[in-house]
Amino acid sequence: MAIDIDTKIIGLIGYPIGHSMSPTIHNALYNRLDMNYIYMAFNISKDNLHRAVEGMHALSFIGFNVTVPYKERIIKSLDTLEKESEIIGAVNTVKIEDNKLIGYNTDGMGFMNGLARLNFSPSGKDIIVLGAGGSARAICVYLLKENPKNIYILNRTFDRGLALADELNKTFHCNIVRPIKMNVLDNLKPDILINTTSVGMYPHINDSPLEKYDFHPNTVVVDIIYNPHETRFLKEAREQGCRTQNGLAMLIGQALASIEIWTGQKISYEQCQNILRDDKIFIDLSI
Ligand code: ATR
């Protein structure tokens, strides 16, 4: 796709963003689908964050993604927030439209997209979430919209899990989010077990968030990590008979949700999968 006077720019801001796959994914899609957009990544220091946002606005960017460490801090530079991102308290996608900056969070949307691909509905289900950080929060907000039976939060720092559970119960007027400690884990038989922590991510590929855990073969096991393709956690789950999914489904799902917000264009997961496979961006995209 040639860059011309009509090319619309989409940004990615964060610090550091050296490892991000997003520019490669977005530009491959825009190129192959003849969409006249370009996706550019910018390392922005904390002191320049607001100036960078104003600059993107002034340069008629149609929007941008926000990554670590600015997903929360960006909010004060925006005009409005979409409901879920307000509850989550973090934004990873900004749309610039009619001189307004609108914040969204597509992480939870991307995760739900992945569950749909597994034909898994959270409704009435027992769910265990490992971790209580930003990713856990985004995922829990979207899970709670589907009326699960229970969401158990197991976090290294118990009090952080407790605080997240309290806040979610309050926001959703329910009492089904429960912080748990490691010693009760073996008494639970979850329908789905989700790792939202960074434990097991490259280069620490021999680590797992659960040591010596007996997975129940009927539990669906999801890891939001995609590097390595199969974490130790997922490998052990698969070897014990569980259906598993890695973080590529969420990564791609959130990118497609962002593209729809900016451009109005719906790209299917399959279409995206084929393009990334043809361009040899990911070797194995099976989920
Ligand atoms: P993100 O936005 O990716 O969720 P985060 O907000 O920094 O990142 O949250 C990281 C999560 O991974 C937290 O739940 C963290 O546990 P703590 O609340 O105890 O810090 C968890 N985590 C990170 N490293 C961990 C480790 N080595 N063992 C267990 N949990 C870990």
Is the shortest distance between the CB of 160 and ligand 1 below 6 Å? yes
Is 71 tagged catalytic? yes
Read off the pTM: 0.93
Please state, in angstroms and rounded to a whole number, the distance separating the CA atoms of residues 103 and 124. 30
Distance 92 CA to ligand 1 centre (A): 18
Whether residue 127 is contained in a domain is answered as yes
Whether residue 189 is contained in a domain is answered as yes
Tell me, what's the pLDDT at 154? 98
Closest protein CA for atom 8 of ligand 1: 133
Tell me, what's the pLDDT at 285? 54
Is the shortest distance between the CB of 106 and ligand 1 below 6 Å? no
Tell me, what's the pLDDT at 281? 82
Instruction: Tell me the residue range of the domain where 236 lies.
Output: 108-246
Domain shared by 215 and 197, yes or no: yes
Is the shortest distance between the CB of 199 and ligand 1 below 6 Å? yes
Is the shortest distance between the CB of 135 and ligand 1 below 6 Å? yes
Whether residue 285 is contained in a domain is answered as no
How many domains does the chain divide into?
A: 2
Tell me, what's the pLDDT at 284? 58
Residues in the chain, pLDDT under 70: 282-287
Domain shared by 100 and 112, yes or no: no
Domain shared by 239 and 262, yes or no: no
Tell me, what's the pLDDT at 79? 98
Whether residue 2 is contained in a domain is answered as no
Nearest Cα to 17, choosing from 40, 39, 38, 42?
A: 42
Tell me, what's the pLDDT at 287? 44
Tell me, what's the pLDDT at 8? 97
Q: Which of 46, 71, 83, 100 is catalytic?
A: 71
Domain shared by 120 and 20, yes or no: no
Q: Which of 156, 206, 213, 226 to mutate to test the pocket of ligand 1 (most atoms within 8 A of CB)?
A: 156
Please state, in angstroms and rounded to a whole number, the distance separating the CA atoms of residues 170 and 122. 20
- Three-class DSSP category at 267: coil
Domain shared by 120 and 59, yes or no: no
Tell me, what's the pLDDT at 104? 98
Closest protein CA for atom 26 of ligand 1: 199
Is the shortest distance between the CB of 156 and ligand 1 below 6 Å? yes
Domain shared by 141 and 93, yes or no: no
To the nearest 10 degrees (0 to 180), the angle between helices 22-32 and 269-278 is 100
- Residue ranges of alpha helices (H) inside the chain are 22-32, 49-58, 83-88, 107-117, 134-144, 158-171, 232-239, 248-263, 269-278
